[in-house]
Amino acid sequence: MGISSLTGYQIKDGLKIAALARKLKPDLPIVWGGYHPSLLPEQTVAHPLVDYVVRGQGELTFQELLAYFRGEGNLESINGLTYKKDGRPVSNPGRPPVDLDNFPPVPYSLVEAERYFCDDDLSARTMSFISSLGCPHECAFCCELAMFNRRWKGLSAERILDDVEKLVETYHLKGIHFVDANFFVNPRRTRKVCEGFIKRNLKIPWAGSGTAFQLSRYSPELWELMRESGLNRVFVGVESGSSHTLETINKAAGVADVLKLHELCRQYGVKMAFSIMVGFPFETAEDVDATMELVQKLNEPSRNYMDPFAFFLPYPGSKLYPEAVKSGFKDPRSLEEWTDFDFATFRGTWIDPKLKDRILQFSHFYLPLIHQEIPGWQKVLPTYWVRFLLRQMAKLRLSHKLYSFPVEWRVFQLYKAVAGRVRKSEAGSA
């Protein structure tokens, strides 16, 4: 049985499934793979509900392991595999990523394909699609470096186009989101994909993830071609507006790259979505202020989509992980301890409480308030003038960095807490 897992709650679910499998069929081999087992293979395989770990790009490794189960070959010759020998973890040499075109298309007919469509800002029938593995950059907070060692492998443009065209014809796909770690690495591939969208008359909007460093250096001709092919949105990891922070986390793109990309997106009518990360062990209040200032610039003259500020997570395998441990992060010592690693609520103990509160005020309340994006706020505040005054107050606070005595923020927090308890009570009585 195979189990793939990220860090956190997926491990908990995986262990439950593995325990059930072990109970029903004790001799069934249990194989784990995915990001977390690949980053901590020996700690993972030490668990009694893990027999083998397939590391990294696992297609060939898993195929050779299945052949071993049939009596062919031996464990020692399978690159990319971690297993137990005499009760102790053994890791064979790694397996370099291979050309993705070597693998057949995803057999969507084997799953309920309808469950993988979503209704979003691209279309009513959008599907996520991964066209590459890895990333050539070395951001210190990211685990891609440990997974693929700055190597990047992508499907060819022709293969992408064939797969997308089949999805359109078979499942009436209306929009596609390339959720690669970095879709735009190769400008020649990007050009061929765009030309193919136009030549094949696909006429569907698409989005992709990249870096400001790369996209800000794309030629005007390529930007025009991307727009003509249906590019609707780019997603970039901005992370910070502080040069000090960007240099410390090895971010290739600087603030100037981000602002140039912002202008290019405005010029070509492409939406810019971006992420921000705060709460690094070395970060100062001045660094955070610089980030808030950049975020406000990126939302002028019109709103760009932004996730609420993400707090730095000490992900295993990242360069900043040891720094987080030195700063007070409790290093989980077993697979089960990692099940309590909550991405949504983690806040580093090294973050000053007042600074943390200011960050939450900015990203979860005042900025969304200005852009009228707090869910259900018209129901809570049905009077137009009350909403108008709150918006003006939010603009005043952000423009002058007035975060003291945030009465409206405290009232909002109280409302969320009460509303949450009411919903929980109603769900319990239903």
Q: Which residue pairs, CB below 8 angstroms and at least 24 apart, start in 77-86?
A: 80/54, 80/55, 80/56, 81/52, 81/53, 81/54, 81/55, 82/41, 82/42, 82/44, 82/45, 82/52, 82/53, 82/55, 83/45, 83/51, 83/52, 83/53, 84/45, 84/51
Same structural domain, 370 and 296 = no
Q: Taking the mean position of all CA atoms in its chain, how far away is CA 123?
A: 21
The whole-number pLDDT of residue 415 equals 78
The three-point CA angle 48-52-54 to 5° equals 140
Question: Would you say residue 355 lies in a domain?
Answer: no
Domain match, 85 and 113 both: no
CA distance 36 to 25: 25
Question: Residue 419: its pLDDT value, please?
Answer: 75
Q: Which residue has the tokens 């509900």?
A: 49
The enclosing domain of 126 has a CATH number of: 3.20.20.70
42/144 same-domain check: no
Residue 340 lies in a domain: no
pLDDT at 341: 83
**Domain end call among 281, 312, 343:** 312
- Residue 204: partners with Cβ closer than 8 Å, 6 or more residues away: 123, 164, 168, 173, 174, 175, 176, 197, 230
Tell me, yes or no, whether 384 and 419 share the same domain.
Answer: yes
> Whole-angstrom Cα distance, residue 8 to residue 339?
5
Examine residue 416 and state whether it is found in any structural domain, yes or no.
yes
Q: Classify residue 349: in a domain, yes or no.
A: no
Domain boundary among 312, 328, 349: 312
> Same structural domain for residues 62 and 108?
no
End-to-end CA distance of the chain: 37
The pTM for the full model equals 0.89
- Same domain flag for 108 and 85: no
Q: What are phi and psi of 343, to 5 degrees?
A: -65, -35
| Residue 384 structural domain | 364-430
Please name which of 135, 129, 113 lies closest in space to residue 211, comparing C-alpha atoms: 135
Identify the pLDDT of residue 273: 92
Same-domain pairing of 206 and 292 = yes
pLDDT value, residue 47: 97
Rounded CA-CA distance 225/194 in Å is: 6
Of 74, 91, 108, the one marking the end of a domain is 91
Is residue 254 domain-resident?
Answer: yes
CB atoms within 10 A of CB 186: 17
Instruction: Say how many domains are in the chain.
Output: 3
User: In this structure, is residue 351 part of a structural domain?
Assistant: no
CA distance 381 to 394: 15
CA-based nearest residue to 299, from 267, 257, 269, 271: 271
Instruction: Say how far apart CA 393 and CA 408 lie, in whole Å.
Output: 9
Q: Is residue 117 located within the same domain as residue 199? A: yes
75 and 151: one domain?
no
The answer to whether residue 201 sits within a structural domain is yes
Same domain assignment for residues 133 and 210: yes
Q: Is position 341 within any domain?
A: no
Query: Which region holds residue 172: left if phi is over 0, alpha if psi is between -120 and 50, else beta?
Result: left
C-alpha span between 208 and 201 (Å, rounded): 19
Are 86 and 117 contained in the same domain?
no
154 and 237 inside one domain: yes
Instruction: Classify 273 as helix, strand or coil.
Output: strand
Distance between CA atoms of 50 and 211, rounded to whole angstroms? 37
Per-residue pLDDT of the chain in tens (430 residues, 90 and over written 9): 999 999 989 999 999 999 999 999 999 999 999 999 999 999 999 999 999 999 999 999 999 999 999 999 999 999 999 999 999 999 999 999 999 999 999 999 999 999 999 999 899 999 999 999 999 999 999 999 889 989 999 999 999 999 999 999 999 999 999 999 999 999 999 999 999 999 999 999 999 999 999 999 999 999 999 999 999 999 999 999 999 999 999 999 999 999 999 999 999 999 999 999 999 999 999 999 999 999 999 987 666 666 678 899 999 989 999 999 999 999 999 999 999 887 778 888 999 999 999 999 998 889 888 877 666 666 666 677 778 888 899 999 998 899 989 998 898 888 778 877 877 777 776 6
Strand order in the sheet with 231-239: 117-118, 126-129, 175-178, 206-210, 231-239, 271-278, 310-311
